Amino acid sequence: MSEQPTDYSQLTQKQVPLEEAADAFILKDENGRIPIVIMPTRANRISVEIMGVAVLLLIGGLVGQSYLSDTLLPELAITASVLVFLIGIYMTVRVRIPEGVNALLMAGGKYKRTIGSGAVFIPPWIAISHLITRREIPFDVPLVNAPTKDSVRANVDTLITFIITDPYRFVYSISADDFDQVFQAMCQDSLRLMIRQLGGEEVINLTRQDLDEVVKSLNSDVEPYGVSITRINITYAQPIDEFMQSLENRQLSIVHQAEEAEKQALAKQRQANAAALARQKAIAEVGRDKELLELALQKAKAQRDVVAMNAEAEELRLSKLQERLEQYPEAMAFDVQTSELDIARALAGNSKAVLQIGSASDIVRTLLVRDAVNEDE
């Protein structure tokens, strides 16, 4: 036995008694759907049971007058039948429309008007044909393998919220089940057209994109059905797994390239810092050498100045000595002879000294010196 296909429709309508409509608008069916349109099972709101009780009481009262004319029971029965009949009429004309619901009234098989929620009095000949919700209706639109402008397939899930602004046009132009299929196709076509204008990477940011143009386009499509789009939320948007893997690889490659570029920039910066440090060191060494050279030059200059001063002093001394020699020549000869005599004495006292004698005058002086030394001793 083959399995029944799963029903993916989201909009539905239901037929229940009018007094159960309020509960029907909040209870989900077996597929988890809440109806947006309720059709009362009986267009005629007159309670047959109450009217039947009134008729029975009336017949009983009339019959009782024939057989029990001497009692009050027939009159009470007739009075009770009138009261029951009035209660039935009141319950027929007084209708309570559930909160958040609009009701379509029909007379003679033709649409008459639309009324809102609350307790209203409606003549028995006017029927309530449909109850339509006024709440916002969420509608899920899945989109699978939608192509982008760069031929990348994307999966998108969208939540579209709409309201029924004109119940008459919605009910009499299309049913809830048919509108489900038509609206699904409209939304998918609009979303496919939008995604076709985007690139694969742009689809990832689709959840934050402005969708006002899509809302305007869809409103123009659903306006003939008395429906208005309030908002569109893209809850999921992502390209297929192959593209995401490729995109991730590209992003990793970009990250690696950025890291390599940062490493190269850091290495260049280090080289530049090392070169700058070496340049500063060389400049410092040149500065120190320059200072040492300047100190050496200053020292040489000072030594030169000292030599010059010594030379000047020696020159001055020799000049003074020359002047004295010129003034006192005999004193000079006496000084020389005294010096020679001192030397001769020193040599005479040293038995190991070797004396080199030149001319005869030297010998004579030597002998004279020896005699003088002996005399002294």
Quick one: pLDDT at residue 168? 93
For the cut 80, the answer to whether the pLDDT of residue 26 exceeds it is yes
Residue 228 · residue 222 · CB < 8 Å? yes
Q: What is the C-alpha to C-alpha distance for residues 275 and 266, in angstroms, rounded to an integer?
A: 14
Beta strands in the chain (DSSP E): 13-16, 37-40, 94-97, 101-107, 110-115, 118-121, 126-133, 137-147, 153-164, 227-239
For the cut 90, the answer to whether the pLDDT of residue 32 exceeds it is no
Quick one: pLDDT at residue 117? 85
Q: What's the rounded mean pLDDT across residues 82-110? A: 82
Q: What is the C-alpha to C-alpha distance for residues 185 and 174, in angstroms, rounded to an integer?
A: 15
Q: What's the rounded mean pLDDT across residues 325-336? A: 69
For the cut 90, the answer to whether the pLDDT of residue 324 exceeds it is no
Quick one: pLDDT at residue 163? 94
Helices 212-222/176-196 angle, 10° precision: 150
Q: What is the C-alpha to C-alpha distance for residues 49 and 67, in angstroms, rounded to an integer?
A: 27
The 3-state DSSP class for residue 124 equals coil
For residue 228, give the DSSP letter: E
The 3-state DSSP class for residue 296 equals helix
Residue position matching structure tokens 């742009």: 202
For the cut 80, the answer to whether the pLDDT of residue 192 exceeds it is yes
**Confidence band, pLDDT 50/70/90 cuts, at residue 243:** low
One-letter amino acid at 83 equals L
Quick one: pLDDT at residue 2? 36
* Structure tokens, 53: 């009780």
Dihedral of alpha carbons 281, 283, 285, 288, sign: negative
Share of the chain above pLDDT 70, in %: 75
Q: What is the C-alpha to C-alpha distance for residues 49 and 59, in angstroms, rounded to an integer?
A: 15
Quick one: pLDDT at residue 280? 84
Residue 56: C-alpha distances to residues 52, 80, 89, 90, 312 (Å): 6, 10, 16, 19, 168
Q: What is the C-alpha to C-alpha distance for residues 52 and 48, in angstroms, rounded to an integer?
A: 6
Contacts of 203 (CB under 8 A, 6+ apart): 148, 152, 154, 156, 195, 237, 238, 239
Pairing of the two strands 118-121 and 126-133: unpaired
Phi, psi (rounded to 5 degrees) for 103: -120, 140
Q: What is the C-alpha to C-alpha distance for residues 268 and 273, in angstroms, rounded to an integer?
A: 8
Summarised one tens digit per residue, pLDDT across range 264-281 is 888 888 888 888 888 888
Q: What count of Cα atoms within 13 Å lies in the side-chain half-sphere of residue 315? A: 6
Question: What is the C-alpha end-to-end distance of the chain, expressed in Å?
Answer: 167
**Pick from 108-117, 272-281, 334-343: least confident:** 334-343
Summarised one tens digit per residue, pLDDT across range 79-91 is 777 787 777 777 6
Residue, of 295 and 366, whose pLDDT is higher: 295
Residue 50 · residue 91 · CB < 8 Å? yes
Residue 97 · residue 115 · CB < 8 Å? yes
Pairing of the two strands 13-16 and 37-40: parallel
Q: What's the rounded mean pLDDT across residues 315-329? A: 75
Residue, of 112 and 80, whose pLDDT is higher: 112
Residue 47 · residue 92 · CB < 8 Å? yes
Quick one: pLDDT at residue 6? 45
For the cut 70, the answer to whether the pLDDT of residue 66 exceeds it is no
Q: What's the rounded mean pLDDT across residues 238-257? A: 66
**Confidence band, pLDDT 50/70/90 cuts, at residue 227:** very high
Q: What is the C-alpha to C-alpha distance for residues 168 and 164, in angstroms, rounded to an integer?
A: 10
Quick one: pLDDT at residue 258? 77
How far, in whole angstroms, is CA 226 from its chain's centroid?
40
Average pLDDT, the chain: 78
Q: What's the rounded mean pLDDT across residues 139-164? A: 88
